[in-house]
Amino acid sequence: MSGGGLRSFVARRLLLGVAQTVAVVLLVFTLTEALPGDAAVALAGDQPDPARIAAIREAMHLDRPVHERLADWALGLPQGDFGTSLASGRPVSQYIADGFGPTLLLAALTVALLVPIGFGLGVLAARHEGGLVDRLVSALTLAVYAVPEFALGVLLVTVFALKLGWLPPTAVGYGTDLLAHPAALVLPVLVLLSRPVCSLFRLVRAGMVDALASPYVAHARRYGVPGARVRYTHALPNALAPAAQQLARTIDWLLCGVIVVEALYVIPGLGTVLLNAVAERDVPVVQGLAVVFGVLTVVLNLGADVVARRLAPRAGVAA
């Protein structure tokens, strides 16, 4: 593959990514506007006095036409101004910054454990394809995969925090300073790991099994290339291409709001910010998050595609 080819591939994908992000933001804006009620109605709650709602609406400048509000917000973006929250009047960037720390920490820890565990188990099972180890690991991962996050989360809290008392049940009151309380992170990371480990394991295992059965591996063996080298330099890269894309999707999911885990363990990350913002019809905050999530998704998928192209050019990743 020539460097020029890769560069133009990346350029095309970045352009497409910008278009995708704009489309996501427009879509999110339209959908939020289409939801019944606006920020004023949501704030008025069970005191829906029409005069009060009108006053709130005016104070929030919601009485201005839709396109004007969107344009105002969009014009601020190039200067890094994400606007201000309707509900509190605080800058949206502060919402994102505050929520990003816990989210990033959880995602980083999860990925740091996910990669070695997922690949390790996948390679191990592929080596013993059809054997006891393979069947045991496959059955176990399938079983874990079938348990919904919420149920697993509750189960882990009940056993490890409430019954055994080994770990704190939630991270309540720790705020953003989660690193100072590493014990509180164990259970959420376990829940976050549970399903991605299973899917990554299955992909790596399948890719390895396919590659090990392929003619080129058989050929390498006939030349007397040692088994370990065949496995790690010839077969594994082939299994990496689909795994890289799966990994990108997992990271994307981890960064773009793991609402269930955040709610269950009281971790104030981006998922919580998003949930509250939608309930409050706080359009600028929702839009700000849409931009962040859109950019993250585009960048992560692009990274995965580049990796996949390098590892297995024949797979022909479409731009």
Partner 1 sequence: MYDERFPGLRRRGFLAATGAASLGALALTGCGTGGGTDAEADGGDGKPRRGGRLRAAFAGGGASETLDPHLANLFADVARAKALFDKLADYGPDLSARPRLASKWESNKALDRWQVTLREATFHDGAPVTAKDVLYSYRRIADPEKAFRAKASLEPIDLDASRATGERSIEFVLKRPTAEFPNVLAAFGAYIVPENAGDDATAFDKSPIGSGPFRFVSFAPGRSAVLRRYDDYWEGAPYLDELEFVVANEESARVNALLGGQVEYAHELNPTTARAHEGKGQIEIVRLRNSAMQAFCMKTDRAPFDDKRVREAFFLIADRQELVDGALSGAGVVGNDLFGKGYEYYAADLPQREQDLDRARALLKEAGAEKLKVTLDTSAVAAGFTEAAGIFRDQAAKAGVTIDVKMGSKDSYWSDILDSGTLACYRSGAMPVEAHISQRLLTDSTTNATKWQHKDFDALYQQAQSTRDKTERTAVYARMQRRLYTEGGFLIWGFADWILGTARNVKGVEAKAPANTLDWARFDKVWLA
Using CB under 8 A as the criterion, which residues of the chain lie in contact with partner 1 when the complex forms?
35-37, 41-53, 55-56, 59, 85, 87-90, 95, 98-99, 154, 157, 161-162, 165, 168-170, 172-173, 175-176, 263-266, 268, 272-273, 275-277, 279-282
Q: In angstroms, what is the minimal distance from the CB of 299 to partner 1? A: 25
* Pick 124 or 275: Cβ nearer partner 1: 275
CA distance 108 to 114: 10
CA dist., res. 4 & res. 222, Å (int): 36
Between 170 and 214, whose beta carbon lies closer to partner 1?
170
Torsion over CA: 269, 274, 277, 279 (sign):
negative
Amino acid present at 85: S
Which residue pairs from 161-166 have beta carbons closer than 8 angstroms and sit at least 24 positions apart in sequence?
A: 161/187
The least distance separating partner 1 from the CB of residue 241, rounded to whole angstroms, comes to: 39
CB closer to partner 1 out of 140 and 154:
154
In the complex, the smallest distance separating the C-beta of residue 35 from partner 1, rounded to whole angstroms, is 7
Nearest approach, Cβ of residue 272 and partner 1 (Å): 6
Ranges of beta strands (E only) in the chain are: none
How far is residue 142's CA from residue 154's CA, in Å, rounded to a whole number? 19
Whichever of 3 and 36 has its CB closer to partner 1, that residue is 36
Q: How far is the CB of 169 from partner 1 (least distance, A)?
A: 4
Angle, CA of 310, 197 and 144, to the nearest 5° = 155
On whether the CB atoms of residues 223 and 196 are closer than 8 A, the answer is no
* Nearest residue to 94 via CA among 315, 282, 253, 319: 282
| C-alpha dist (Å) from residue 293 to 18, 230, 267 | 12, 39, 19
* Residue (83 or 99) nearer to partner 1, CB: 99
DSSP-assigned letters across all residues of 68-136 = HHHHHHHHHGGGT---B-TTT--BHHHHHHHHHHHHHHHHHHHHHHHHHHHHHHHHHHHHTTTSHHHHH
Q: At what angle do helices 92-127 and 132-145 cross, to 10 degrees?
A: 150
Nearer to partner 1, 104 or 263 (CB): 263
Smallest distance from the beta carbon of 79 to partner 1, in angstroms?
22
Minimum distance, C-beta of residue 186 to partner 1, in the bound complex (Å): 13
Which C-beta is closer to partner 1: that of 18 or that of 97?
97
Nearer to partner 1 (CB atom), residue 161 or residue 204: 161
- Shortest spacing between CB 224 and partner 1, in angstroms: 59
